[in-house]
């Protein structure tokens, strides 16, 4: 109460500031509210730097008072604590770590000048949070800011670096390979750069290839990875033995969550053996399910390509009677591609993602909504992420099927929905024109677009700077737009998923107009089938059809 100087309707002009003190802690309330015991009253508090609004008032001891405490003064201290992210560093286990000046400092070339003014200090950090509630205590994590350091822990002339790509394809892999090579050669002068072929297994079972700027010059225009990739084949000891045998100092691993789990073990094993070897990862996954970083490379390109598939589906369904187009997009556990591509296209009527369970038949279910779309618009575009609705198509959980990397194999929800929708309407004697598009490999295999190319460049350069700075067991990526070094162990603890409380999901639902199909939203007693085309009386007799 002490902070309340004046309360009135928000429409009323506040009194002159000089007259406020006279009101002290008394709440001045318009007469009509006195009959109520409590009211959400739009009142405003005056602070030195402006007006803030809204508190609840209640009637106590013959007087209206503010029932909750006033917000703190703008000037009052916000409780904030900081923790530094524990990014492993060679100095943590090597006592005799020499340092060298960054090659920029030794060059006179004009082209280095803008860069050598931009060294990053070890005191520079990137904070994990930019949106705060000022009244809540904040526990913030500071990650080392990515970029070149004035002192580096390797003599660049003697460095041997190895680059490997693992897991599924993703637009931008070649750009990252190119930019790692270019940065190593042109910003540090590294000559011995090797490409490990076909993923982790290539460390111990394949010949390596030499990489240099000429070899990688035009590869960013190509999809896939010039090094090849694979799933499985991670053998910790054999890989570290190969690294030792070839005298490698820097290992650059381009891969997703599985790859980074492996890379974290590599880095730990190098630490255990006290090797002067850094392991850096550049996070890759088309599914965009890597936590902490803003997004993974290739995601923009994937959304752009996925939108083309949606456009095609829309064109098809617009030209045929009762056209229903199903587009199946990637996303094992996270529906980001489906969400963003649907939002960008604006022609999608329904988007199903792994994060949201859905009921197919019965009141409030998917089939009822399909009927609504057909009757109102004569067409429907449905986008489904591959990991959605696995309860309908999942393999027998007692004999879970895994791929070579240990990822769960998914049932085919796209074809299941195709058949389910088609047979439902056939039973009704209705003509529908079903169209099915699965652009998965077309999306994954393309070269990265312009914005991903720039993003890949930044990631690759950041990784090289981090390795020369002595960090190991780290991933690079932007946190709220600023590139940082993140411990691999933090990256692999969780998978990023679409946050259903986030406004991006609301935007999607607003754009498609789809209802909430989740089982909890279906009224009790309506779990069974119903006839979606008939009046309630008719539906009784035809319930068994759907
Ligand atoms: N938990 C793990 N520990 C060590 N290596 C792993 C682990 N999970 C996956 N890998 C290896 O990482 C590589 C890529 O993993 P995968 O899951 O296929 O792709 P991604 O890295 O894109 O998620 C494979 O060679 C696989 O054997
Ligand atoms: O056919 P593959 O190579 O098993 O890949 C299919 C999977 O790869 C993905 O593109 C993801 O791959 P990663 O886990 O390697 O990032 C998924 O979207 C898809 O389920
Ligand atoms: Mg993965």
Buried-exposed string 134-163: b where 16+ CB fall within 10 A, e elsewhere: eeeeeeebbbbbbbbbeebbbebeebbbbb
Q: Is the CB of 167 under 6 A from ligand 2?
A: yes
- Residues 251-294: pLDDT tens digits? 999 999 999 999 999 999 999 999 999 999 999 999 999 999 99
Task: Report CA(176)–ligand 1 centroid distance (Å).
Answer: 19
Task: Report CA(309)–ligand 2 centroid distance (Å).
Answer: 18
Interatomic CA distance for residues 325 and 315, integer angstroms: 9
Ligand nearest to the CA of 286: 2
Q: Which of 155, 192, 287, 403 is catalytic?
A: 287
Question: Are 31 and 64 a contacting pair, CB within 8 Å?
Answer: no
Atom 3 of ligand 1: nearest residue by CA position? 262
Is 411 labelled as part of a ligand binding site? no
Task: Report CA(256)–ligand 2 centroid distance (Å).
Answer: 10
Is 488 labelled as part of a ligand binding site? no
Atom 9 of ligand 2: nearest residue by CA position? 168
Is 386 labelled as part of a ligand binding site? yes
- Residues 391-429: pLDDT tens digits? 999 766 656 789 999 998 999 999 999 999 999 999 988
Q: Is the CB of 287 under 6 A from ligand 2?
A: yes
Q: Is the CB of 261 under 6 A from ligand 2?
A: no
Q: pLDDT tens digits, the chain, 546 residues: what are they?
A: 334 444 444 344 444 443 333 333 334 444 344 444 554 444 454 444 444 444 555 555 555 555 555 455 555 667 889 999 999 999 999 998 999 999 887 766 555 566 656 799 999 999 999 998 888 888 999 999 999 999 999 999 999 999 999 999 999 999 999 999 999 999 999 999 999 999 999 999 989 999 999 999 999 999 999 999 999 999 999 999 999 999 999 999 999 999 999 999 999 999 999 999 999 999 999 999 999 999 999 999 999 999 999 999 999 999 999 999 999 999 999 999 999 999 999 999 999 999 999 999 988 899 999 999 999 999 999 999 999 999 999 766 656 789 999 998 999 999 999 999 999 999 988 899 999 999 999 999 999 999 999 999 999 999 999 999 999 999 999 999 999 999 999 999 999 999 998 899 999 999 999 999 887 765 554 443 333 433 333 332 223 323
The whole-model pTM stands at: 0.83
**ipTM > 0.85?**
yes
Residue 212 is among the residues annotated as catalytic for this protein: no
- Residues 421-471: pLDDT tens digits? 999 999 988 899 999 999 999 999 999 999 999 999 999 999 999 999 999
Q: Is the CB of 330 under 6 A from ligand 2?
A: yes
User: Sheet containing 38-47: which strands, arranged edge to edge?
Assistant: 38-47, 50-60, 63-66
Which of 380, 373, 383, 417 minimizes the C-alpha distance to 309?
A: 383
The number of the ligand 2 atom at minimal distance from the alpha carbon of 386 is 20
Atom 20 of ligand 1: nearest residue by CA position? 256
Task: Report CA(21)–ligand 1 centroid distance (Å).
Answer: 67
Is 232 labelled as part of a ligand binding site? yes
Write down the H helix ranges in 290-395.
299-319, 336-345, 366-377, 390-393
Q: What is the pLDDT of residue 239?
A: 98
Is 330 labelled as part of a ligand binding site? yes
């Amino acid at each position: 109460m002490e902070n309340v100087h004046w309360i009135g309707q928000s429409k009323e002009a506040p009194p002159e500031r000089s007259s406020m003190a006279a009101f002290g802690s008394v709440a001045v309330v318009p007469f009509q509210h006195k009959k109520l015991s409590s009211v959400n009253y739009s009142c405003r508090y005056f602070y030195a730097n402006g007006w803030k609004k809204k508190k609840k008032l209640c009637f106590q001891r013959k007087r209206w008072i503010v029932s909750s405490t006033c917000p703190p003064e703008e000037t009052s201290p916000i409780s904030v604590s900081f923790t530094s992210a524990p990014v492993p560093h060679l100095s943590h286990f090597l006592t005799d770590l020499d340092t060298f000046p960054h090659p920029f400092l030794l060059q006179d070339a004009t082209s280095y000048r803008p860069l050598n003014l931009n060294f990053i200090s070890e005191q520079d950090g990137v904070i994990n949070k930019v949106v705060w509630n000022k009244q809540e205590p904040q526990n913030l994590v500071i990650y080392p800011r990515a970029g070149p350091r004035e002192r580096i822990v390797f003599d660049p002339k003697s460095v041997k670096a190895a680059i490997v790509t693992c897991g599924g394809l993703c637009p931008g892999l070649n750009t990252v390979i190119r930019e790692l090579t270019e940065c190593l050669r042109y910003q540090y002068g590294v000559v011995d750069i090797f490409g490990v072929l076909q993923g982790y297994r290539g460390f111990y079972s394949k010949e390596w290839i030499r990489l240099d700027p000429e070899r990688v010059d035009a590869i960013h225009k190509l999809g896939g990875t010039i090094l090849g990739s694979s799933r499985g084949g991670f053998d910790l000891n054999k890989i570290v033995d190969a690294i030792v045998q070839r005298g490698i100092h820097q290992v650059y691993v381009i891969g997703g969550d599985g790859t980074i789990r492996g890379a974290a073990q590599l880095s730990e094993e190098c630490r255990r053996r006290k090797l002067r070897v850094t392991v850096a990862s550049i996070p890759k996954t088309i599914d965009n399910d890597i936590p902490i970083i803003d997004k993974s490379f290739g995601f923009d390109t994937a959304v752009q390509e996925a939108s083309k598939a949606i456009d095609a589906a829309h064109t098809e369904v617009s030209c045929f009677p009762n056209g229903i187009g199903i587009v199946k997009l990637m996303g094992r556990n996270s529906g980001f591609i489906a969400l963003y591509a649907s939002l960008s296209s604006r022609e999608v009527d329904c988007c199903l993602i792994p994060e949201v369970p859905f009921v197919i038949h019965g009141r409030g279910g998917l089939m009822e909504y399909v009927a609504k779309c057909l009757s109102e618009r004569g067409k429907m575009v449905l986008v489904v992420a591959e990991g959605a609705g696995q309860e309908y198509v999942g393999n027998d959980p007692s004999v879970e099927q895994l791929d070579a990397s240990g990822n769960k194999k998914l049932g085919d929800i796209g074809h299941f929905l195709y058949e389910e929708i088609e047979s439902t309407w056939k039973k009704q004697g209705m003509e529908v024109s079903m169209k099915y598009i699965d652009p998965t490999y077309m999306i994954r295999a393309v070269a990265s677009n312009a914005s991903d190319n720039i993003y890949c460049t930044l990631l690759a350069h950041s990784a090289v700077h981090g390795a020369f700075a002595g960090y190991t067991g780290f991933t690079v990526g932007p946190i709220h737009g600023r590139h940082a070094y993140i411990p691999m162990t933090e990256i692999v603890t969780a998978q990023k998923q679409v946050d259903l409380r986030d406004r991006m999901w609301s935007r999607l639902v607003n754009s498609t107009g789809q209802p909430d199909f989740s089982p909890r939203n279906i009224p009790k007693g309506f779990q069974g089938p119903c006839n979606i085309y008939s009046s309630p009386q008719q539906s009784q007799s035809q319930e068994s059809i759907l």
